[in-house]
Amino acid sequence: MGRERIIYNMTVRDIVEGLNETQTVIIPIGMIEQHGFHMPTSVDIHNSAEIARRTSDVTGTFVTPSVHYNISGGMLPGTINITPQVFSLMLMDIMQSLVMQGFKNIIMLLGHGGLESGTATTEACEFFQWLRPEMPGVNICIVPFWDLSPTYTEMSAKGDWHAGLLETSMMLYWKPELVKLDQLAYDDEPLRSQLRDDPYSFGMKLKNVDHKFVVPRIIQNPVLKVGVMGDVTGANPELGKKIADECISGLAAFIAELEAK
C-alpha cells in the first residue's frame, strides 16, 4: 500500500523514476451532470477518480487528472455537455501526450455511462490507433467501472440506473458529506417508472416531416425535473464499499495482466 502515483501531485523526477517501474496510466473519465436533488453534479467524476486513486495505491499505476467534461445529452441545470467530437479529440490529444512520454498501457476508466459518451470514447481510441500504426507495444483500453463489479452489474440489471441506489451508495462511501438524502425527490409517475425501464427515454425524437430521410431532432422530455433513474431506498456506505472493493480488485487484476505481456 502507499504506492499511488497521482500525476498532478508528482514532479518531473518523480514521473521519470516511476516510468522505470511502470508504463501504465489510468485516465479517469467523468461528467458534470445532474444527479437528482440529493447528489452533486460531480458523482461520475468521484466514482472514476476514487477507483483510479485507490487502484494506484495498490498497484503503483499512474493516474492522470480526471476528465470532467463529456456528453450525456441531458439538459437539467448543472449538466455541462460538450460536442462528442470535441470530447473525442480531447481524449486523442491526451493519449498522444502520454504515449510521447513513454506510457504503454493507457486505461480509459469510465465513470460516466451513456451511449453518446461510450461511442465517442470508443471512436477516439480506435481512430487514435488507426492513424498511428507506428506504436508497437501500446495498449489502449476502455474500462467501464461498472463492468468491474459483479454486484453493480447484477443490481443494475434489475433497473437501478442513474442517481439510484448504486450510485448513491458509492457516494455515501466516498463523499458522504455531499449526499443530501433529506432532499431526495423523484419525477412524477408515469415518467419515474418509464425512466427505470428505459433510461434513454428522457429524450424525445421529433420530426417536422415524417420521412425516413429526415433526421429527428432530440429534446429532453419537458416533464423531466429531477432525473433519478432508480430507487434510492436502502442506499448505504457498506454497499458502496463492496462495489468499490470489487472495482479496485478487478482493475488491479487487469493491470497485472497487461503488464505481464
How remote is the C-alpha of 116 from its chain's centroid?
Answer: 12
How many C-beta neighbours within 10 Å does residue 205 have?
9
Residue 28's H or E segment, with its range, is: strand 24-29
Q: What is the rounded CA–CA span in Å between residue 72 and residue 13?
A: 38
Closest CA to 141 of 91, 93, 84: 91
Domain boundaries, the chain: 5-186+234-260
Q: Look up residue 258 and give its amino acid.
A: L
Distance of alpha carbon 175 from its chain centroid, rounded?
Answer: 17
Q: Rounded to 10 degrees, what is the CA torsion of 228, 149, 91, 220?
A: -20
Question: Which pLDDT tens digit goes with each residue over 197-245?
Answer: 888 888 889 999 999 999 999 899 999 999 999 999 999 999 999 999 9
Mean pLDDT of residues grouped by 10 in the chain (261 residues)? 90 97 98 97 98 98 98 93 97 98 98 94 97 93 98 92 96 98 96 86 91 93 93 97 98 97 80
| pLDDT of res. 12 | 98
Class of the CATH domain delimited by 5-186+234-260? alpha beta
The answer to pTM > 0.85 is yes
User: Is 67 within 8 Å of 91 (Cβ atoms)?
Assistant: yes
